[in-house]
Structure 1
């Protein structure tokens, strides 16, 4: 068993990564921006069946140097998951770009100086499939997002952070290895009220907070499968120097997501809307709503991505789109995180 550092341990993917790493028998360290969150994290892990006696927490922030060397000391592997992903629009794109890029470099530098074997970086489909003309061919790991296209600040931050990571390895990585996981929209069971922004789509559908379904396509993947792919990429020799798309199946229209929730959850999904909104109406709303404005470039566009490489190289076998979405909704219901 190894000693594994999971950055951003209180986040949605990070907390699941700690659960799986502890369950696999590893000693785990994690970084938190504020150690006042340690008690809550440990309680959450124990509530989900983890033995947290092999977990150590360290204070480290993506924007500061302090704490990273201590957190990485003695670690065999680093899963660098921490990255800003706000629900709203930042006042300036650097609010996302700087911590994403500089945080990745801090984690890589700490891992290299600590003599770790490999870092697995959580990037995103955002670094692969945006800023391009519409295409029918599925995106794969050979593509990079076009930074000159109409892209959101988050998309730009993930692209620049991943590029900076690969450049670091090539320029000054020493013997450090790097693998990258590029998830699409991450769904699946939430462990507590602190969850990913992507979960809000299911929450709003279940709450009936959306007037209808915009004509958008989203990739879906369960958080448990995203973590499984990280752990495979952490130790498999074939993963060194490679990117891996994490996507469960074909991209889904929002209406298809809504229909899947209704079909599987019955009366619990009674508020879920199934009518599609005309795109002209969404564009009209976007004139006054910056959050809606972010989705306008992708309205009515076909988009897809392939996880063939992860399946072929690492033997990855994710849950279905529908199972991931239903697990999301069921956890929101179980934890009473939906409007009554």
Structure 2
């Protein structure tokens, strides 16, 4: 048993639930935040046999008052919660303001409570959405919030910058480490889809018959959780960012091929055709969700994860295992036909 208490925000989400599970499995005490008390039983069911050691606090990223109580007595904070809407809002501030201000509320409360270290879940969106020659990215790279990107991408860059600025100027003794995952796949612990697992569901149930010619990084949610736990107490993690991705970027079509090759009839509806660039541009005219795909045409981003591997001893799974395990969890939870469509990080 570990006497250190860890606050995990966003514990009902895809990443948060896996972080809680790993922390409990390693003997930490864990408190997590939920926006309504009714979600507590759902989280307990997701995190497994040690759920009896899990504490709950009701909190919201837009509420200043509740965070002092949520962090009270905690040695560490893992801030996973961040807005992730099913569609990009017309007003970017609907995403940017709660993402930035929510992170600052949590960090301010952590500082005031004497928390030793906070680990923030950021994203590759804060690293690699400003083009550069070769599309080769590591932790020294930053997405420029002024670039023509979606509100979500801008919100991740702005919120992470604000977190670093706060800790540098006002953090006192609070340490900060940041995890920057690429597309997070891997098995679900509960019935709510994340954005990436929803993509696999769409391929399995035939609602994505063709795919855009776009490449992206893949990382397993179990490895993302492991990296958070490693960054929590490792002396070398303080003041550092860690990019997280399994390996080379893959295309939507390559992901569909993995499903077909390994799942047989269960993936019979997975797409086999890629849109041409002209077809994608034409489709994006009437479909705002495809406009970001148009921006990514021609890119095959290279994500350098040497730092996480060498500094923290991180060893992620291979991409095929991650994709297959994602699909098997959807089938096991009977989500192929869309029983749950609530997105969650």
Q: Same fold (TM over 0.5)?
A: yes
Pairs within 5 Å for 1:1-340: 1=2, 2-45=4-47, 49-133=48-132, 135-339=133-337
Shift of 1:300: 2.6
| Secondary structure class of the residue paired with 1:198 | helix
CA distance in 2, matches of 1:145, 1:175: 28
Question: Does the aligned pair in 2 maintain the 1:123–1:181 contact within 8 Å?
Answer: yes
CA distance in 2, matches of 1:317, 1:150: 34
Shift of 1:225: 0.3
Question: Does the aligned pair in 2 maintain the 1:19–1:50 contact within 8 Å?
Answer: no
CA distance in 2, matches of 1:296, 1:59: 40
Question: Does the aligned pair in 2 maintain the 1:222–1:318 contact within 8 Å?
Answer: yes
225-234 or 297-306, larger mean C-alpha shift: 297-306
Shift of 1:326: 0.7
Deviations 1:201-244 (Å, cap 9, x if unpaired)? 11111112112121100100000000000000001000000000
| Secondary structure class of the residue paired with 1:89 | coil
CA distance in 2, matches of 1:299, 1:337: 30
Question: Does the aligned pair in 2 maintain the 1:132–1:149 contact within 8 Å?
Answer: no
| Secondary structure class of the residue paired with 1:75 | coil
Q: Counterpart of 2:342?
A: none
| Secondary structure class of the residue paired with 1:294 | helix
CA distance in 1, matches of 2:69, 2:284: 46
Question: Does the aligned pair in 1 maintain the 2:8–2:32 contact within 8 Å?
Answer: yes
115-124 or 146-155, larger mean C-alpha shift: 146-155
Shift of 1:145: 0.3
CA distance in 1, matches of 2:216, 2:49: 32
Question: Does the aligned pair in 1 maintain the 2:209–2:269 contact within 8 Å?
Answer: no
CA distance in 2, matches of 1:281, 1:43: 44
CA distance in 1, matches of 2:135, 2:99: 29
Structure 1 segments (4+ residues) deviating >6 Å? none
CA distance in 2, matches of 1:137, 1:62: 34
Question: Does the aligned pair in 2 maintain the 1:332–1:338 contact within 8 Å?
Answer: yes
The gaps in structure 1 that reach 5 residues or longer are none
CA distance in 2, matches of 1:201, 1:210: 8
Deviations 1:117-140 (Å, cap 9, x if unpaired)? 10000000000000324x325200
Give the alignment's TM-score, normalised by structure 2: 0.95
| Secondary structure class of the residue paired with 1:338 | coil
Give the alignment's TM-score, normalised by structure 1: 0.96
| Secondary structure class of the residue paired with 2:176 | strand
Question: Does the aligned pair in 2 maintain the 1:132–1:146 contact within 8 Å?
Answer: no
Deviations 1:34-68 (Å, cap 9, x if unpaired)? 122112222333xxx33212111111111111211
CA distance in 1, matches of 2:104, 2:122: 13
Count of aligned pairs: 336
